[in-house]
Structure 1
Amino acid sequence: MNNTALLIIDVQNGMFSEKDPVYKASCLLKTLKQLILKARSKSVPIIYIQHNGREGHPLELGTQGWEIHSAIEPMASDEIIQKTTPDSFFHTNLAEKLAENKINHLVIGGIQSDICVDTTCRRAFSMGFDITLVSDGHSTWGSNGLTAQQIIDHHNGVLQGFTKIASAKEIHFS
């Protein structure tokens, strides 16, 4: 049987700026909040990944933009892992925390589909984890002539080689 944790990547205030918020920001927050409530109801561990940006970055360490969004605010019992690269495992204690709790299945959502979510899914796969990517629980911005939705759809397709893809409604914690 899988020991599961919910991994929420970089859902921080700086990703929701008024002038350039992440694609479908309010839908993303609602979806992640519902997943968090489902996880809490089954005592599934919730791990927040918080990016520590450099000075001037929207997620600059210690600023209001760096804080985890209040719509999905962590509880004292939740784990918060700090990172400085797109890989949630690189130079962090995430692998150790997962091992301590005998976690081998990760349900992953967050921001950015094409950077931190993608990198973390691939790294988790390479480390032997079973992964479920929440198809409607990650987001990004349009880039290089592609819309945000095209990028999300592309990653849901490409990451099928590494993860199970499931909508938030299809995810049931046990």
Structure 2
Amino acid sequence: MKQALLIIDVQNGMFNVGNEVYKSVSLLENLERLINQARLAEASIFYIQHNGPVGHPLEYGTKGGEIHPNISPRNQDVIIQKTTPDAFFKTALENEMKTRGIEHLIITGIQTEACVDTTCRRAFSAGFQVTLASDAHSTWNSGEITAQQIINHHNSVLRWFATVIPSTEIIFNT
């Protein structure tokens, strides 16, 4: 079964000093390891890049909107631009997956309760096998609960739509 790694919204604006995404260092380390594994297995890698409006931390065409340099895409990687939490909505993502014969998506990225959650559910509904890397997505504390509680909750709830396992347990087909 052909696999693809999806990296959602891991952009500079999510790592602003003093307001970095939760566990930013380990998030980037886990993503780097998954990217290296995917490259070795010659799996497709898709970078999902959110285009925020003027003044947004992920404003299109700004430094904040660029993909984080620790996980920079290569020429063979695909970058999909989006403007909503759903990486499939009004984008070429599903068509790109079908063109490449991809049936299994490994989902990572930011923000757990928004773009990661929505894309997991949508991928499942579109008929893809979905794996969520439980330690390769992140968010921020909310007014009510901590980032870790949000991540734990979504790792539990998203089991209805995905196999949820740590990044160290993910194996790419060769």
Q: Decide: shared fold, TM above 0.5.
A: yes
Q: Secondary structure at the match of 1:104?
A: strand
Q: Distance between the aligned counterparts of 1:154 and 1:166, measured in 2?
A: 14
Aligned twin of 1:64: 63
Partner of residue 45, structure 1: 44
Pairing of 1:124-139 with structure 2 (within 5 A): 124-139=123-138
Q: CA RMSD of the aligned region, Å?
A: 0.5
Provide TM-score, normalisation by structure 2. 0.99
Deviation of 1:67 (Å):
0.2
- Structure 2 residue aligned with 1:10: 9
Partner of 2:109: 110
Q: For residues 56-110 of structure 1, what are the alpha-carbon distances to aligned partners after superposition, in whole Å with 9 as ceiling and x for unaligned? A: 0000000000000000000011000000000000010000000000111000000
Structure 2 counterpart of 1:96: 95
Which TM-score applies when normalising by structure 1?
0.99
Letter in 1 for 2:62: T
CA distance in 2, matches of 1:44, 1:122: 22
Query: Unaligned regions of 5+ residues in structure 1, if any?
Result: none
How many Å separate the matches in 1 of 2:60 and 2:80?
13
Give the 3-state SS of the residue equivalent to 2:29 in structure 1.
Answer: helix
| Aligned position for 1:86 | 85
Q: Secondary structure at the match of 1:5?
A: strand
* 1:143 has 2:142 as partner: yes
User: Distance in 2 between the 1:125 and 1:152 partners?
Assistant: 19
Deviations, residues 121-145 of structure 1 (Å, cap 9, x unaligned): 0011111110000000000001131
Q: Tell me by how many angstroms 1:19 deviates.
A: 1.7
CA distance in 2, matches of 1:45, 1:126: 21
Could you tell me which runs of 5 or more consecutive residues in structure 2 were left unpaired when the two chains were aligned.
Answer: none
**Separation in 2, partners of 1:110, 1:71:** 13
* Cα distance between partner residues in 2 of 1:108 and 1:89: 13
Q: Tell me by how many angstroms 1:51 deviates.
A: 0.2
Report the secondary structure of 2:164's partner residue: strand
Q: Percent identity?
A: 57
| SS of residue paired to 1:76 | coil
Partner-residue secondary structure (3-state), 1:152: helix
Deviates more, 1:142-151 or 1:59-68: 142-151
Whether 1:152 aligns to 2:143 is: no
